[in-house]
Structures are given as C-alpha cells and as structure tokens.
Amino acid sequence: MYLPVSIKPIGSCERNDVIRIAESTLGPFHSYFVMKSLSNSRTLVAKVDNKIIGFIMYYTVKLNIRLGVLYYMAVISSYQGIGIGGKLLDEAENNLSRRVNVITASTKLENEKVQKMFKKRGYTVLTWSELKDLTSWIVTDKLLRILHAYDDDIVMMKCTSNKNVIDMIRQLS
C-alpha cells in the first residue's frame, strides 16, 4: 500500500500531537520523558494527509567520538508495519550522518521488530552484557548513561564511516 508520507521537523504547534502518540504507543512513563526532551532534542514527524502519525527524537553527544542518539521513535498502531518507522529512521540517519561518528539506539530484548529494522539497516545489535565483553564495563556504563537506556536490554550501533563500530565505541573509555 502506498501512502504519501512526509517527514519534517516538528512544528511548535505539533508538540502535543507527539506527546499524545507517545502516550498511546509507549505509555505514560515514556511519554513524560518525550515531553521533557522536546526542547533539547531534534524531533522529526511523519505526516499523512497533514496528520502526524509518528515521530523520532534524537540528539548528539560529543566526547572522544561524536555520538548520535536515537532517543524515542513511535508510530500510531494503525500505521505500524508499513515502513513509516523505517522512513523516520532513514531521515534521522541522514541528518546525523554528517555530524557524528556513530549512531546509537536502545530497546528491550522482546522488541524484535525494532531490532530487525535496525539490523536490516546495518546496525550491530548487542545486549549490554555482550557490549561489556567486547569493550569494558566503563565503556558500557558510559554508553548506557548517554542513551538513558536504564530500562533497555539491547544496544544498536552503526558507524557513519567504514570503521568498525566496536573499535569506535571503545574510544569512549
């Protein structure tokens, strides 16, 4: 099914729509953090017929390397499974790829749809324990804090160049 979807930066009058989508898809706990983060992150919205049907929030952090963090992404349930999340992710990646070395995200172990979408786009998908074994506890803890991923089991990472993502992440130590 073809839908004319447009992906644009959030407008000032669209914040409540994003919070409503977060509430209905992610629940009240996460919608609170979406609301609090709207002013200090970039947000893209997906629209069909001028109606917001999804969003992605991201920010950058500069340490030893420049990290892009995909913080929250949600699509209204009736529009899930038809590529809207992928379009949001692609646009956020395009915006970040010129400014960061590594793009990161996190999710829960049971969220296999999201893991599959990220793997399909070339992300390395690891548990926090696997990341610790490949790097160190210091690197893993630092990345966990940067992503605010205290609730999540899985980290997803992708280099914006041809370098090895694990080698790049090790530079966080």
Same domain, 123 and 84: no
In this prediction, residue 173 carries a pLDDT of: 83
pTM for this prediction = 0.93
Expressed as residue numbers, the domain containing 169 is: 101-173
pLDDT confidence of 1, banded at 50, 70, 90? Answer: low
Instruction: Tell whether 77 and 122 lie within a shared domain.
Output: no
Query: Do residues 144 and 90 both lie within one domain?
Result: no
Same domain, 43 and 112: no
Q: Are residue 95 and residue 110 in the same domain, yes or no?
A: no
- Domain total of the chain: 2
Confidence of residue 3 (pLDDT cuts 50, 70, 90): confident
91 shares a domain with 132: no
Question: Is residue 117's pLDDT more than 80?
Answer: yes
Q: Judge if 89 and 34 occupy the same domain.
A: yes
Task: Output the domain CATH number for residue 19.
Answer: 3.40.630.30
Where do we find the tokens 């699509």? 75
- In this structure, the answer to whether residues 106 and 161 fall within a common structural domain is yes
